[in-house]
Amino acid sequence: MKNVLVIGSTGQIGSELTMKLRKQINGATVVAGYIPGAEPKGVLKESGPSEQADVCNAAQLAQIVDKYRIDTIYNLAAILSATAEKKPLLAWDIQMNGLINILEIAREKGCAVFTPSSIGAFGPTTPHKSTPQDTVQRPTSMYGVTKVAVELLSDYYFHKYGVDTRSVRFPGLISYTTPPGGGTTDYAVEVFYSAVKGEEFVCPIAQGTYMDMMYMPDALRAAIEIMESDPSKLVHRNSFNIASMSFEPETLFAAIRREIPDLRTRYEVDPVRQSIADSWPDNMDDSCARKEWGWKPSYDLDGMVKDMISHLKK
Ligand code: VAH
């Protein structure tokens, strides 16, 4: 990767991935793509080029790819699961019409493409424990429907046109830089802010609801390592299960209380997010990612909790 376009560069993943790519790849050009109203600010703006990049504007994307001779596109534009239930057509438009624009440009101009999938690509009939790499995918949320279609369309462009598409199924991502918006797993981020502010946290997800989660540094490393891996070793492409930890709210709260003992919590279950969470796996089997491109997480629950709290306290 030398010249990279990050679409959605001011979102939860994009804001940190853009900075990591700029630091990690010597001499790289990493273009921060954004939409009006979500312009890059501060170090994200000052540390490299940024361009308005609306996934639904193919001409605009093509012009950026030509201008910077982009060889890799990270497509991180998405409406997350809970918001997608409120705006299903917008989610379809961004996730699907946006993706076909990107894949057509990648086909014409020879770019590699990373469009993440998610645990949201599984549904109630998927095996919940040690969810296999290849299994039933009948999601019941619009977000999940788009993620299965993202996986299938990305594989189609690889098999039919040789476009170098690769991606991972992200667990719920936990970070302290840019809060997520409208996700089912967001509770696992929001509770940290309540804990450091000494506020009671009202949890929208019921006790006992297990979901795969991952600390952002591991997620960013996965997104880069898969794109830099040896393609001849890839049996799968879109998208690899990757896992690091699985917990239910009480387990997370207990880990936080080991650092902040007076954390107060109570439950007010949000039926929309709860039904989505119930349809998702408890934990994924990521043996294919480990075998085909050497995936290995480096943060466990306690390591993540300590690092999150130390950064948020600053
Ligand atoms: C969501 N954080 O909750 C996102 C993600 C795996 C969950 O897709 O919608």
d(CA 23, CA 34): 20
Helix (H, G, I), strand (E, B) or coil at 246: strand
d(CA 215, CA 227): 19
Return all residues near 285 (Cβ < 8 A) that are at least 6 apart.
130, 131, 132, 133, 241, 243
Cβ of 81 below 6 Å from ligand 1: yes
Domains of the chain by residue range: 3-171+216-241, 172-213+245-313
Could you tell me how many helices (H) and strands (E) the chain has, helices first?
A: 13, 13
Asked if the 172-213+245-313 domain carries CATH number 3.40.50.2000, the reply is no
- Residue whose Cα lies nearest atom 4 of ligand 1: it is 183
Give 101 Cα–ligand 1 centroid separation in angstroms: 23
The predicted pLDDT at position 180 comes to: 78
Cβ of 119 below 6 Å from ligand 1: yes
Helix (H, G, I), strand (E, B) or coil at 130: coil
Give 79 Cα–ligand 1 centroid separation in angstroms: 9
Cβ of 18 below 6 Å from ligand 1: no
Give 232 Cα–ligand 1 centroid separation in angstroms: 30
Cβ of 185 below 6 Å from ligand 1: yes
Which residue of the set 143, 157, 176, 187 is catalytic? 143
Write out the H or E segment, with its range, that includes residue 202.
strand 201-203
Q: What is the largest CA-CA distance in the chain?
A: 57
Give 119 Cα–ligand 1 centroid separation in angstroms: 7
Closest ligand 1 atom number to CA of residue 182: 9
The predicted pLDDT at position 97 comes to: 97
Give 247 Cα–ligand 1 centroid separation in angstroms: 15
> Can 157 be counted among the known catalytic residues?
no
Across the 314 residues of the chain, what is the mean pLDDT of every consecutive 10-residue run? 96 96 89 96 97 98 98 96 96 98 98 98 97 98 98 98 98 92 95 97 98 98 98 98 98 98 98 96 98 98 97 94
The predicted pLDDT at position 208 comes to: 98
Q: Domain 3-171+216-241 is classified in which CATH homologous superfamily?
A: NAD(P)-binding Rossmann-like Domain (3.40.50.720)
Cβ of 172 below 6 Å from ligand 1: yes
The predicted pLDDT at position 26 comes to: 79
Cβ of 101 below 6 Å from ligand 1: no
